Structure 1
Amino acid sequence: MIVEQANAGSTSGNARRASFFEDNGVWKESPVFVGSTRFQPLPDVKNIMITGGAGFIACWLARHLTLTYPHSYHVISFDKLDYCSSLNNTRVLNDKRNFTFYRGDITNPSEVVDCLERYNVDTVFHFAAQSHVDLSFGNSYGFTHTNVYGTHVLLESAKKVGVRRFIHISTDEVYGEVKDGDQDLLETSILAPTNPYAASKAAAEMLVHSYQKSFRLPAIIVRSNNVYGPHQYPEKIIPKFICLLNRGQPAVLHGDGSPTRRYLFAGDAADAFDTILHKGQLGQIYNVGSHDEISNFDLCGRLLDEMGIAHDAPADLGRWVKYTHDRPFNDHRYAIDGTKLRQLGWAPRTSFDEGLRITVEWYRRFGERWWGDISKVLSPFPIVAGDEVLSDKEPVTDSPQPAEADARKRKAPPSNGETAVDDEAS
């Protein structure tokens, strides 16, 4: 069932909203991806609201909970439907009696409360957020509005209706940069965010803490590594590079390509959230971490290998890998310790090789059709204004770019547009 709460707007805005509900059937061709965990259903959990449910990670959890617990849980996907969301991500659930899509904005208190009360929600998974770090440098106000104020609205609304579980999805970026050789960070480590996106997520966490203490709101905070896999909007590095290479165009690295990230397959992330729902302790924080760490440059090589593109010769590599300036500041790496969650029985099951194979196959089949025209978002630094994506005009070179000098030359995108409302995926 679909419940639309969209307000009337401009002609172009109405056309854009209508396009979200058009069904071109592409989702019928896609494999149905879910996690692998299954627990004894909780007797005090009946109606689960997932914010950002039409976005990437949240849609995996929505499918998993709906299909794994058909007689136990009713899942309500609550999403604004911004440029990076797609109803294709959950259309396979539309005929399920235990699934409802509710179109709403987390910064709108009346819509949030209406959804919570209408469906007697007892459990909230809060994924919805503006999450693309590059955009946060040019539109930091939008990130504060959605990620901080939106979380505040949800917390106040959850307190009002008496939600029994509030599971807040944060990010490993709240810890800040971790140097090579330093120990992986625990849940008790100091938060030291270095970019506006990470700062907004840390601020949101402080609000969650305050509602735990002041109002005894039963909450859990989850901090995850980068998640990848089918259904991720191609503004993020793995799907963007797959789509570019599949078009016969080169992948464009920021800076010199040396920063590393740890990656977690989306199915393993869904299992982690399912585990935390059923076995996590209220009031706790859980890191969701993998050990699959790879530099952006080496990631290009892995993708070229997976796609069968020759790159051993320097000329071949230069054909497929280009460079542009770096972010104003680009954390070299993040590293979190996931022992606490592993003690609940969770562990990643999908190797990076297998996850990358599944992901490449899916984007080669569906990447050009799932969200409509993705050409503009495949530029190195796409700009988002409202629900429109614009290409950048940044220069691309054959040589790695030094981070500091180029960063000072960068012109930030306009800050008067609202950017993405998506689930977490750095």
Structure 2
Amino acid sequence: MTKTFLVTGGAGFIGSAVVRELIANTSHRVINVDKLTYAGNLASVASVAYDARYTFERADICDDDAMARIFEQYQPDVVMHLAAESHVDRSIDGPREFIQTNVVGTLTLLEVARAYWERTKQSEEDKARGFRFHHISTDEVYGDLDDDGSLFTEQTPYAPSSPYSASKAGSDHLVRAWLRTYGLPCIITNCSNNYGPYHFPEKLIPLMILKALQGSPLPVYGDGGQVRDWLYVEDHARALVQVATEGVVGDTYNIGGHNEKTNLEVVHMLCDLLMEMAPSTHHYRDLITYVNDRPGHDRRYAIDASYIQRTLGWEPRETFESGLRKTVSWYLANERWWKAVQDGSYRAERLGVLT
């Protein structure tokens, strides 16, 4: 059955991957709602924007009237809520904006969705079978792990460390409360670190690629020993669409890539790939420099994705090696895209430094 998906943040990194997945590989209709802040880029969905099933609405999820109009006009069957402020360093410098977008924006969306759902669904059977509110979150809400092989599960207690992760934890709690109190059909997913094409260059992997190509120092926080589980964004998009269409209302699904790497290992791998794919007279590893660590930096994240694999049959297709090669290749082939996002609003400056 063809459904109408309302994707918030659909011009962002993960959101645009979801939009491309839905248009390219399903028959569903997509309403892309994005405010187009510094990290939103319609060029990231240009490959599918011509499709008659795709519509873009520039709007702020904190705007009750705009959200109510969009729900009434497009009558969505599924909401995939990805719109969020997401960069930890930015949250250290300006936490208020993160609370506004991630908490107040989620509250606004939940209330508009609840009013729409209660008005348009005629029976309890219709409600259970039809509308879904899928909230996309992060593994950072769980805090950090010891180096003992333990993993984040869907039952791990929340212990956020940064203003960003605290704001996402707050939005997760709101979604669960609207499920339990009002019966709104909600599903939550928590993912590990994403990487891949169309990634805004303030994040580790694209930042290191572009700085290396420019011959600039590659800043590694602290000793570079922080461990992350890396998930290729197109694998994540497939998982999100599958959860939205096949997941059980009320469930939480952790989505991970089974790729634990230290930040320094990632930078070394990037440098070696660049030497192969964009040879330089100097070795890119020589550009690595160590800088003061981020305040409150979590040491290790790692996702146990066995539940989604067992119940929905999803698993990542990309290894970290194959996904990283695809990512480097994309940035080398798409200089026009990444130069356009470095248009004066972002110059790869260091953020989140406490004085």
TM-score, normalised with respect to structure 2: 0.90
2:211 to 241, 244, 247: 244
Judging changes above 3 Å, is the alpha-carbon distance between structure 1 residues 365 and 378 closer, same or farther for their aligned structure 2 residues? farther
Name the residue aligned to 1:164.
131
Deviations, residues 287-318 of structure 1 (Å, cap 9, x unaligned): 001221111111111001101179xxxx9576
Name the SS of the counterpart of 2:47 in structure 1: helix
Which residue of the partner structure matches residue 22 of structure 2?
A: 65
Instruction: Kindly indicate whether structure 1 or structure 2 has the higher relative contact order, using CA contacts under 8 Å at least 6 residues apart.
Output: 1
TM-superposition CA deviations, 1:67-120 (whole Å, max 9, x none)? 2223xx110000000111111011222221111011000111111111111111
Q: Deviations over 1:245-285 (max 9, x none)?
A: 11122311112211111100111101111221222101100
More helix by share: 2
Aligned equivalent of 2:39:
84
How much has 1:46 moved relative to structure 2? 1.6
Q: How many residues align?
A: 337
* Aligned positions of 1:290-309 closer than 5 A: 290-308=257-275
Q: Which residue of 2 aligns with 1:420?
A: none
Distance 1:176 1:292 in 2: 18
Cα distance between partner residues in 1 of 2:301 and 2:102: 21
Q: Is residue 83 of structure 2 the alignment partner of residue 116 of structure 1?
A: no
Amino acid of the residue matched to residue 381 of structure 1? R
Summarize the alignment of residues 20-419 of structure 1 with structure 2, pairs less than 5 Å apart.
43=1, 46-70=3-27, 73-162=28-117, 164-308=131-275, 319-343=286-310, 344-370=312-338, 372=340, 374=342, 377=346, 379-382=348-351, 410-411=354-355
CA separation in 2, counterparts of 1:379 and 1:92?
A: 27
Structure 2 unaligned runs (5+)?
118-129
Give me the whole-angstrom Cα distance separating, in 1, the residues matched to 2:159 and 2:77.
32
> For residues 371 and 338 of structure 1, what CA distance do their matches in structure 2 show?
35
Instruction: Tell me, in whole angstroms, the C-alpha distance in 2 between the residues paired with 1:127 and 1:353.
Output: 27
Give, in angstroms, the shift of residue 185 of structure 1: 2.0
Give the 4+ runs in structure 1 shifted more than 3 A.
Answer: 315-318, 367-371, 375-380
* Cα deviation digits, residues 151-208 of structure 1 (max 9, x gap): 0000000001118100000100011010101421210111111111111111101110
Instruction: Look up the SS of the partner of 2:19 in the other structure.
Output: helix
Residue identity over aligned pairs, in percent, reads 37
SS in 2 for 1:169: strand
Question: 1:318, 1:171 → 2: CA distance?
Answer: 30
The 1:153/1:252 distance shift into structure 2, 3 A limit, reads: same
SS of 1:220 mapped into structure 2 = strand
Whole-angstrom distance in 2 between the partners of 1:279 and 1:309: 41
Q: Note the residue ranges of structure 1 that are not aligned, 5 or more in a row.
A: 1-42, 384-406, 412-426
RMSD: 1.9
Q: TM-score, normalised by structure 1?
A: 0.76
Give the drift of 1:367: 4.0
Counterparts of 1:334 and 1:175 in 2: how far apart (Å)? 9
